[in-house]
Amino acid sequence: MASTRQTLGTLGFAALAAAAVAVVTLVPMQDYTVHILVQTSTFAIAVFGLTVVLGLCGQINLAQAAFFGFGAYAVGLGTADLHMNFWLALAMGAGIALVMGALLGMTTLKLGGHYLAMVTISFQQIVTLIMVNWIPVTHGPDGVGRIQRPLLFQSSQAFLGVCVFAVAVIGYLVWRLPQTPLGRSMRAVRDNELAAGVAGINVYKVKVAAFALSAVLGGIGGGLFAGGFAYVSPDQFSFAESIVFITMTLLGGVAAPVGALIGTGLLIVLPESLRFLKSVPGLYLAIYGLSIILIIRYMPDGIWGFVQNRVRRWLAPPPFAGAPAELMLAPAYAASADAAPMALEVRDLCKHFGGVKAVDGISFSVRRGQVHALIGPNGSGKTTTLNVLSGIYTATSGRVLLGGRDVTALPPHARTVAGLGRTFQNIRLFRSMTALENVIIGAEQPGNQIASGHAALVERARAALAFVGLEARAHELVTGFSYGHQRLIEIARALAGNPTLLLLDEPAAGLNSTEKLGLRDLLKRIAAKGLTILIIDHDMTLVTEVAESITVLNFGRRIADGVAADVLRQPDVIAAYLGTEPDAPAFT
């Protein structure tokens, strides 16, 4: 079903694109109209780049005009001064933008947030300075004239056809991107970076890819722009233009290329159509500014986002037909029964935050196939331990062995590939995605033998959702689920990755008593499949019912460890954890 719809959509799009190219090349037009359309289409390609990096991946790029400039100057200097072939010059511009984008991304994307914004602004300013001051090469403020077009597309309308064709092809690819593994990873990184890493995504690599992709689209847009106008100068690629690109993205809707196209068209056509107001000074700017403010105020997801939210209900795929497959878990066990008997060994683990010794030299082991609980009062270091185990924090000292393998130095995604799955104390789902998409990301890992290819991934994710009882709502956005159900989706996402060890941080927190019973049954069903679980929870009924062994922490140190019943009888555990009076909880 979905694939038929997709094919129809693609065919419809191709027909529309072909019609657009035919119209702009064949129907006679005024120079002015051609001018506006060339500008819109070349800008739109650069804005598509921002759809990728900002819309899909959530990374800010305030230097898109600089990448646009790389493409424009490559075509300008290449064709005018070096007498290069247009296409070769365009490819060179795209290549330069790609390399610069990748380099800028690699050096700055570890920073993120405000730093990233500032570094991209500085980069933009440096590029402008070079354009203005490196006169022997760039011609400085005079700019570059006599830029050549490709042989077969000398007339401005023929060249416009090229631009519209490029918009269609690139727009199509950007439109399809979110449904590809790379696009899904980008959305996961945007929605929740920590969870993306723990779900097996190499966050840094995905960000650099998004940045480089955005830069290359900037370069292509700029190269075509230079061909269209035959003259470029530094002021066309300034910081102010970068802001215009960002505004176009936000105005139309950051999440899809349609939005980019709407935003670009609007910001180019709106000022032009208000020119008749020029007789009243200032009025034109006021109306222009006010329109933008009103749109952003009343359509926070942009114009296309606004439309999409209204039609989403009719676009949802139909429910699955037939029964889901049974969820296969941890097949690694039987095969490696003679390997290390411990699923997890923690040795002298320390995690200090400055003077705070959150975890201060703890050791414990989790036996294969067992449910092991990690308990202790609030602030005793349980979550920190889990964060060190899953690689979100690097250990100050000590070692972590997963199935006998030292994973202490591995980043989160590599530990996930090595067999770790986890949920978070504060639920971390990918909020803009459906339940199914969330779980697909859990299933989708390099080297994952259980599911390769899209159909297999969907089946695996569906089986995991069915296992937690939510398969019927697979296509709903996760934000529409109750808190308890969101926890179940998080567990399904971890299970889909086929972990050998499942880490659960307070899964019962915030659940009502019915939900707690459901969770207890789910944990028992997971344990019955032979999966090893390390669970943190304050609900002692749950802990005593599911856990066979317990490690107790207090002030970052281990104060007890062993068979559940024995541990809970120890006086110092009762004192530290339960308080001396049974009715007075020492924790909340």
Q: Which chain residues interact with Mg ion by CB under 5 A?
A: 383, 425
Judged by CB, which is closer to ligand ADP: 187, or 382?
382
Partner that binds at residue 376, options ligand ADP, Mg ion, none, CB closer than 5 to 8 Å by kind: ligand ADP
Which among 403, 363, 407 is positioned nearest to 385, based on CA atoms? 363
Q: Which long-range contacts (CB under 8 A, 24 or more apart) does 518-527 make?
A: 518/469, 518/484, 519/484, 519/487, 519/488, 520/545, 520/546, 522/468, 522/488, 522/491, 523/371, 525/467, 526/329, 526/495, 526/502, 527/371
Q: How far is the CB of 587 from Mg ion (least distance, A)?
A: 10
Q: How far is the CB of 573 from ligand ADP (least distance, A)?
A: 15
Partner that binds at residue 125, options Mg ion, ligand ADP, none, CB closer than 5 to 8 Å by kind: none
Partner that binds at residue 473, options ligand ADP, Mg ion, none, CB closer than 5 to 8 Å by kind: none
Give yes or no for a contact between 61 and 118, defined as CB atoms under 8 angstroms apart: no
Judged by CB, which is closer to ligand ADP: 87, or 353?
353
Output the DSSP codes for 174-226.
HHHGGGSHHHHHHHHHHH-HHHHHHTT--HHHHHHHHHHHHHHHHHHHHHHHH
- Distance, C-alpha 121 to centroid of its chain: 22
Partner that binds at residue 384, options ligand ADP, Mg ion, none, CB closer than 5 to 8 Å by kind: ligand ADP
Closest CB to Mg ion belongs to which residue?
383
Judged by CB, which is closer to Mg ion: 96, or 374?
374
Judged by CB, which is closer to Mg ion: 383, or 416?
383
Partner that binds at residue 378, options Mg ion, ligand ADP, none, CB closer than 5 to 8 Å by kind: ligand ADP
Q: How far is the CB of 555 from ligand ADP (least distance, A)?
A: 9
Q: How far is the CB of 387 from ligand ADP (least distance, A)?
A: 7
Instruction: Give the amino acid at 559.
Output: I
d(CA 436, CA 462): 7
Q: How far is the CB of 49 from ligand ADP (least distance, A)?
A: 34
Exposed / middle / buried, residue 512 (Cβ in 10 Å: 0-12, 13-18, 19+): exposed
Judged by CB, which is closer to ligand ADP: 380, or 500?
380
Alpha helices per DSSP H over 81-142: 86-108, 113-133, 135-138
Exposed / middle / buried, residue 27 (Cβ in 10 Å: 0-12, 13-18, 19+): exposed
Q: How far is the CB of 386 from ligand ADP (least distance, A)?
A: 8
Residues in contact with ligand ADP by the rule CB under 6 A: 353, 356, 358, 376, 378-384
Partner that binds at residue 587, options Mg ion, ligand ADP, none, CB closer than 5 to 8 Å by kind: none
Judged by CB, which is closer to ligand ADP: 147, or 349?
349
Judged by CB, which is closer to Mg ion: 506, or 561?
506
The SS3 of residue 502 is strand
Partner that binds at residue 356, options ligand ADP, Mg ion, none, CB closer than 5 to 8 Å by kind: ligand ADP
Q: How far is the CB of 411 from ligand ADP (least distance, A)?
A: 17
d(CA 518, CA 382): 24
